[in-house]
Amino acid sequence: MTRLRLTLLAGLCALAPGLLPAEAQQPAPPANAPPPASTAPPPAVTDPLPTTTAPDTARSRPGESAAPSATQAVTPPVPSPAPSPAPSPAPSPAPGVAAPAARETLVATPGDANDVDEVSLPPKPAAILAGKSKWEEAVPSLRAAFARIEAELARAGIVPTGRPVAVFAKTDDDGFQYEAMIPIAPLPDPRGAEARLAEARPAEAKPGDGEALRLGTTPSGKALRFPHKGSYDEIDGTYETLTAYLDAKDVVVQDRFIEEYVTDLKDRADEKLDVNIYALVK
């Protein structure tokens, strides 16, 4: 709030018109009279001192800090932004350890989900385990066979390279006989590998516990590939399509079929199951 300061100006007294000067009206002082008193105003009147002294705001009392004035806005300090953390580098693989290679299918080119492909199956070295099962126990039996092959290959130091394969050699209304296979890397010493496989069999295994693991090759030759995508419970529909195709084309095939599991065989209801079915042409 602004204060207005009023300055009072002293007026001069106007001389009355027609009057004589004061000196003419005053009688002459006597010779020994003291000098007349001065009529000039004293310095205190002409230049009076201020009645109050404004405080010096530039100085503060000892021990006190200078505070901002009431009319001065106090701006809070702006915090500086926190530094962004440096991105952590991606972990590098341990030296000398290679990432496991993806398992290959028997035919590298994937099949068309809505068509039948004519392919040529190359023979590949494989670890083979024979077995049999009832139809309702097909998935657990095959899964157990593949697990045993994987375990014994690991103990023998043999590297698997391909997807699991099941060859259905004989079937009837009650069940089927099969050969479970897993392709492996070529062996420079097959006899030494056979000996290692024999040593890798569990010590508690008995002759009546099932066939021993052996080395061989996957089926080879000209074949027709029928893709199946869906649960194992629905695979009979794909076999019906296969049979109708063979009858329509008058194609004669061998008395065995091959199932190659592109995805892991988990349970019968797995809708994401991907299987290649091969029919070997005579």
- In the chain, the domains with their CATH numbers are 117-281 (3.20.80.10)
Closest CA to 188 of 127, 125, 121, 129: 125
- At 100, the amino acid letter reads P
Mean pLDDT of all residues in the chain?
A: 76
What is the tens place of the pLDDT at every residue in 32-71? 555 555 555 555 555 555 554 444 544 444 444 444 444 4
Pairing assessment for the beta strands 125-134 and 214-217 based on DSSP bridges: antiparallel
Q: pTM for this structure? A: 0.63
| pLDDT score of 243 more than 50 | yes
The arithmetic mean of pLDDT across residues 235-257, rounded, is: 95
What is the tens place of the pLDDT at every residue in 138-156? 999 999 999 999 999 999 9
| Distance of alpha carbon 157 from alpha carbon 148, whole angstroms | 14
The whole-number pLDDT of residue 193 equals 83
| Inter-residue contact 219 to 280 (CB < 8 Å) | yes
The whole-number pLDDT of residue 215 equals 95
| Distance of alpha carbon 282 from alpha carbon 279, whole angstroms | 9
- At 80, the amino acid letter reads S
The arithmetic mean of pLDDT across residues 242-246, rounded, is: 95
The arithmetic mean of pLDDT across residues 242-262, rounded, is: 96
Percent of the chain having pLDDT more than 70?
A: 61
Residues with Cβ within 8 Å of residue 84, at least 6 apart in sequence: none
What is the tens place of the pLDDT at every residue in 163-204? 999 999 899 999 999 999 999 999 878 888 888 888 877 765
